[in-house]
Amino acid sequence: MHPKKVGPAENITANIIFNLAQLGIPIRDAIYFDIKTYLDIVKLQKSIYGQDGISRQATQADIDAFLG
């Protein structure tokens, strides 16, 4: 019997928990995030660690846009 292949859609919760942990956000605090906030965090993370290999620190404008 072959092991069942698990696709990305079946690992969404694990991916979210892993991403929050990478950002230093405790799992117990994850209940305070809605999906839009989570996606904003991921978008910001992707822009910081983009494919161009250039990373930068968040600016005040980034923080204001995230909190706004």
53: left (phi over 0), alpha (psi -120 to 50) or beta: left
Model confidence at 1: pLDDT above 60: no
Q: Quick: pLDDT tens for 25-64.
A: 888 887 787 888 888 888 887 777 766 556 677 888 888 8
Per-residue pLDDT for 8 more than 70? no
Residue 10 clears pLDDT 70, i.e. is over it = no
Radius of gyration over every alpha carbon of the chain, rounded to an integer in angstroms: 15
pLDDT score for 14: 80
67, 59 contact by CB (below 8 A): no
Tell me how long the chain is: 68
